[in-house]
C-alpha cells in the first residue's frame, strides 16, 4: 500500500510538472524571456537603454514575489540592428536559450522577418517592438503569424499623419522626405505620402540613405534643389544629424521633423546647438512629466541608474504590458494561454497610457504627441 501511495504521489508530481513544462522557458520558479536589440554599433545606445530599464523592472517584480511565485529572467542578445542577426538571434533564443516568450525587439525589417520566419510559425508571443511598420500590424485573418505580435506603440502612419497635419496647419505645402532605405524608412515614406494625399499634396522631393550609413551627400542634393519649406526625416539619429548639418551647410533652413525611433536624447547629443527647433513625434508620454502616474513609476524605477528617456519609457511600457499578461494568465502558464490572455485583456490603463488588444487587433496604442527641441537641447511639448 505504501509503495502504491508513493507511485501515485510521484505520478501526480510528474503530471503537475508536465503542465508547466509543456512549453520551454518555464520552471516552477522562473520564466525566461528573450530580447534582440542593438547593443553595439551606431544604434547600440538604444538597446542598452531598453535592456537596463527592463532589467531594473524585472528586479523590482522579482523582489515583490515575481509572477505567481516565479522569477523573471531576461536574456538579451545583440543584433547590431541587422535583419539577419535578429532572425538568427530569435532562433537562438527559442531553440538554444529556451525562452518562453519574447519582448522588446527593435526595428521594422528585422522584426517583420523574425515574425514571419521564426516566432510566428513557432507560436511564440512577442510583446513590443520599436517599430510602427504596417507589416507588423497586418490583420490576423490575412497573416496567421500576426497573432503572436503584440504592439505597444502607435504606427508610423499615426506619427506621420500627426506631423503632416501640423505642418499643413502652419501653411506649409512644400514638404520633402528623407528616409532610410529599409522597412522603417519605406513605411514612414508611405505614411507621409498617404497623409499628404489627404491634403491634395505630394512630396516636393524624396531622397534616401542606406541602413547604418551616414553618407548623406547624394541625399542632400535633390532636396536642397527643391528648396522645401519642411523636411520629414524617417531616419535614426546619426544619419538624421548628418543630414541636418549638410542641409544647413548647403544654405537650407527648412523646418525639420522626424519620427520617434530617431532617439531624441541621442539626436540632441549628436547635433548640439543645431538640434534647436527640430520637431519630433513621440509615441509614449513625456518622460520628464512627473504628473502622469506611469511616468512617476518609471522615474522612480530608474532614478538611481539612468536619466529619463523616451526609449527607456517605451521599454518600461513594453515590460509592464508583458508582466500584466503573465499575471493574468495565471499559474498554469503556456504560450497559448499568454497569447489568448493578452488578446482578451481589453483596454488596460497603466496610469496615463492605455494599451488595448482584441482577438482581431493587436495594435496596442495610437498615442502620438509632438515635441520640439528648445534652447540647450531641452525637449519641449
Q: Which CATH superfamily is domain 22-154+291-364 in?
A: Response regulator (3.40.50.2300)
Once rounded to an integer, what is the mean pLDDT over residues 127-154? 94
**Position 360 confidence tier, pLDDT thresholds 50, 70, 90:** confident
In degrees and rounded to multiples of 5, residue 229 shows phi and psi of -80, -25
pLDDT of residue 364 exceeding 70, the answer is: yes
Please state whether beta strands 101-106 and 346-349 pair in parallel, antiparallel, or not at all (unpaired): unpaired
Rounded to two decimals, the pTM is: 0.90
Question: Per residue in 162-213, pLDDT tens?
Answer: 999 999 999 999 999 999 999 999 999 999 999 999 999 999 999 999 998 9
pLDDT (0 to 100) of residue 117: 97
pLDDT of residue 2 exceeding 80, the answer is: no
pLDDT of residue 238 exceeding 80, the answer is: yes
In degrees and rounded to multiples of 5, residue 176 shows phi and psi of -100, 165
pLDDT (0 to 100) of residue 304: 83
Once rounded to an integer, what is the mean pLDDT over residues 133-156? 94
Once rounded to an integer, what is the mean pLDDT over residues 27-35? 97
**Position 350 confidence tier, pLDDT thresholds 50, 70, 90:** very high
CATH (residue range 156-282): 3.40.50.2300
pLDDT of residue 139 exceeding 80, the answer is: yes
Please give the Cα distance from 314 to 308 (Å, whole number).
11
Radius of gyration for the chain, computed over Cα atoms and rounded to the nearest angstrom: 22
Please give the Cα distance from 336 to 333 (Å, whole number).
8
Other beta carbons within 10 Å of 29 = 10
Tell me the angle at which helices 310-329 and 44-63 cross, rounded to the nearest 10 degrees.
40
Q: Is 122 helix (H, G, I), strand (E, B) or coil?
A: coil
Is the distance from CB of 324 to CB of 348 less than 8 angstroms?
Answer: yes
pLDDT of residue 136 exceeding 70, the answer is: yes
Please give the Cα distance from 275 to 329 (Å, whole number).
45
Smallest CA-to-CA distance from 211 within 109, 105, 95, 315 is with 109
Domain boundaries, the chain: 22-154+291-364, 156-282
pLDDT of residue 113 exceeding 80, the answer is: yes
In degrees and rounded to multiples of 5, residue 292 shows phi and psi of -80, 125
Is the distance from CB of 134 to CB of 112 less than 8 angstroms?
Answer: no
Is the distance from CB of 66 to CB of 33 less than 8 angstroms?
Answer: no
Amino acid at each position: 500500500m505504501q509503495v502504491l501511495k508513493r507511485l501515485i504521489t510521484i505520478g501526480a508530481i510528474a503530471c503537475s510538472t508536465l503542465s508547466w513544462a509543456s512549453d520551454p522557458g518555464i520552471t516552477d520558479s522562473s520564466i525566461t524571456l528573450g530580447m534582440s536589440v542593438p547593443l553595439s554599433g551606431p544604434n547600440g545606445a538604444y538597446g542598452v537603454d531598453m535592456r537596463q530599464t527592463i532589467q531594473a523592472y524585472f528586479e523590482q517584480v522579482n523582489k515583490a514575489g515575481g509572477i505567481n511565485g516565479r522569477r523573471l529572467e531576461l536574456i538579451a542578445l545583440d543584433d547590431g540592428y541587422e535583419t539577419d542577426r535578429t532572425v538568427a538571434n530569435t532562433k537562438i533564443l527559442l531553440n538554444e536559450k529556451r525562452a518562453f516568450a519574447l519582448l522588446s525587439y527593435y526595428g521594422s525589417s528585422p522584426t517583420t522577418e523574425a515574425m514571419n520566419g521564426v516566432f510566428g510559425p513557432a507560436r511564440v508571443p512577442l510583446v513590443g517592438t520599436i517599430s510602427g511598420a504596417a507589416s507588423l500590424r497586418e490583420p490576423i485573418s490575412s497573416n496567421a503569424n500576426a497573432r503572436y505580435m503584440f504592439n505597444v506603440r502607435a504606427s508610423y502612419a499615426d506619427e506621420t499623419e500627426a506631423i503632416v497635419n501640423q505642418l499643413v496647419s502652419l501653411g506649409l505645402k512644400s514638404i520633402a522626405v528623407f528616409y532610410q532605405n529599409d522597412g522603417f524608412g519605406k513605411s514612414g515614406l508611405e505614411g507621409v505620402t498617404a497623409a499628404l494625399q489627404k491634403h491634395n499634396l505630394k512630396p516636393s522631393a524624396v531622397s534616401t540613405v542606406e541602413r547604418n550609413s551616414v553618407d548623406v551627400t547624394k541625399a542632400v542634393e535633390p532636396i536642397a534643389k527643391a528648396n522645401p519649406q519642411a523636411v520629414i526625416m524617417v531616419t535614426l539619429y546619426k544619419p538624421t544629424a548628418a543630414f541636418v548639418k549638410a542641409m544647413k551647410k548647403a544654405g537650407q533652413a527648412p523646418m525639420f521633423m522626424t519620427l520617434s525611433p530617431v532617439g531624441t536624447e541621442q539626436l540632441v547629443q549628436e547635433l548640439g546647438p543645431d538640434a534647436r527647433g527640430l520637431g519630433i513625434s513621440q509615441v509614449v508620454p513625456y518622460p520628464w512629466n512627473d504628473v502622469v502616474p506611469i511616468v512617476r513609476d518609471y522615474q522612480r524605477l530608474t532614478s538611481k541608474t539612468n536619466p529619463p528617456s523616451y526609449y527607456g519609457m517605451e521599454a518600461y511600457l513594453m515590460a509592464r504590458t508583458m508582466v500584466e499578461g503573465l499575471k493574468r494568465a495565471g499559474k498554469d502558464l503556456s504560450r497559448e494561454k499568454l497569447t489568448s490572455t493578452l488578446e482578451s485583456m481589453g483596454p488596460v490603463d497603466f496610469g496615463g497610457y492605455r494599451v488595448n488588444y482584441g482577438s482581431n487587433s493587436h495594435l496596442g496604442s495610437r498615442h502620438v504627441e509632438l515635441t520640439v527641441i528648445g534652447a540647450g537641447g531641452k525637449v519641449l511639448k
